[in-house]
Chains A and B, each alone.
Chain A
């Protein structure tokens, strides 16, 4: 399907064809160039600073020296808590849509609510979390509030993944389950949930990959720049987090040591995000391969 230059056509058509090829090729080159630049820059400037001590040392001199240990711990706490919160919510919403709500209009309504939630800018999650949980409910800055906001932010991604997985269950399997005498709840627990597990995990990993790097939802609700190590409760228990750390370092861009640490932190964050995304992609490929059999 190549041969962009056909020799037996009028000149104008040939020129247009070749010109279009050139224009689109140039666009793709520019696009890929920008993206390659980003990766190369983060890797080249950040890799040199990443070492075992960087990952396990505490921060010192307000980020100009030391490592990002407690930032890493904080991000991992947020990621784990977000996963725990989002999974039951997403599965429930998906089950509601596929099993319990029969009316097509209600289903469309709930799907549009999901799209609405997906379209809310991430800073508004931060503002709402600050307004309601940090201030009105008096919880103060807390890792749990941050995880809650992140969970609702990635909920649409996870829910759609679970819904797709449930839709893939063949009607034959459902009929077989019912023929074996399972009542509706048992059908869900014995058939629907196990079959959708892969979709749930893939969707959650994708969402977590995004949640790990988000700053806006956590900067007013959970993260501080320094002074905390590991939380020992829920109320008034902020944590350190890598994205917020990078944000603060980026505002002090004149000092070269701070900058180097900023790039190294960015490298670690990118690596974390990429690991989660690649894991999700890998699991999805494996499941698709098994399904194709």
Chain B
């Protein structure tokens, strides 16, 4: 009787015939040594470098600012307006105010403008004109900030000085100038991202609304915008993030005047006076000066840490407000 093939036990292969394909450079015959892949090791190693970098950045800022926090207390550091390193006074409140005011005013100006423009470009335009404008806007989102800074110095500063002098602006270097420049900077970003968000709404939805008899405006308000809401909020949020972190352009037009905190806080005339933001202080020559004095250096790192925390908190809040699309 011929041996039943199904009952044949697995043939014992001569070890020398087993293929050598496992492990690094295919050195081993045992498939269990696959985990020694050099590729995997390299990928893990490089990725670890990236994560290490991020951790090192956050930790070094935190650890570097511990001395000043331990001496002054974090809350006092964040709420005292006086900053004068020659008199060892380190309070970040005026800079925090500058950062928040310039960014939010910029958002107030650029947000609605950006969304409305993007709505026009994606809903009412079509064909080659639409793609031309869209590409120009995308190209302009890539203009370096130092060029915006130069523009701010040459064009915006005299404009604010002469145009708003009657309101009390004594020079062109004001918080308002910074806000306006930031608004111009984040406008292309918001427009591009809002346009992407509006484009993501399927055409069929719009057509269904029109078929039901809604006018263009009604269909946009009741159908397109709600569907695109999370994308639109992201667009605005990313613009805000860019505004909060912008250094060079703000540095050039803000006046860099310390310890200015309006009393009361909502006094808008402070907008027409020079000021300071967290980023403009960090980008100033004071960073290199402060290295020799440990207290001063710790205070500067405290500003950096405060900036990081502020951006993280605001972006986190914004992201949590983003609800899922309707």
Q: Which residues of A contact B (CB under 8 A)?
A: 1-2, 4, 6, 9, 13-14, 16-17, 19-21, 23-25, 27-28, 30-32, 34-36, 38-39, 41-42, 88-89, 92-93, 95-96, 99-100, 110, 113, 116-117, 119-128, 130-132, 135, 152, 155, 183-185, 188-189, 209-210, 212-216, 219-220, 243, 246-247, 250-251, 253, 259, 262-263, 266, 269-270, 273-274, 277-278, 281
CB–CB B56/A128 < 8 A? yes
| A220: B residues at CB distance < 8 A | 287-288
CB–CB A124/B37 < 8 A? no
CB–CB B142/A274 < 8 A? yes
The reply on B247 being an interface residue by CB < 8 A is yes
* A261 smallest CB distance to B (angstroms): 11
CB–CB A209/B142 < 8 A? yes
CB–CB A89/B124 < 8 A? no
**A88 nearest CB neighbor, chain B only:** B46
Partner of A92, one of B42, B221, B308: B42
* B175 smallest CB distance to A (angstroms): 18
Q: Which residues of B contact A (CB under 8 A)?
A: 21-22, 34, 37-40, 42-47, 49-51, 53-54, 56-57, 60-61, 64, 112-114, 116-117, 119-121, 123-124, 126, 133, 135-137, 139-140, 142-151, 153-155, 184, 187-188, 191, 210, 215-218, 220-221, 241, 244-248, 252, 279, 282-283, 287-288, 291, 300-301, 304, 307-308, 311-312, 315
Q: Which of A92, A117, A123, A269 neighbours the largest number of chain B CB atoms within 10 Å of its CB?
A: A123
Partner of A273, one of B142, B210, B215, B308: B142
CB–CB A246/B146 < 8 A? yes
CB–CB B116/A23 < 8 A? yes
Partner of A250, one of B43, B124, B252: B252
| B308: A residues at CB distance < 8 A | 120-121, 124
| B145: A residues at CB distance < 8 A | 213-216
Task: Given the known inter-chain contacts A17-B217, A95-B43, A270-B144, please indicate yes or no for A247 contacting B248, CB distance below 8 A.
Answer: yes
Partner of A121, one of B123, B137, B155, B307: B307
Partner of A27, one of B45, B116, B188: B116
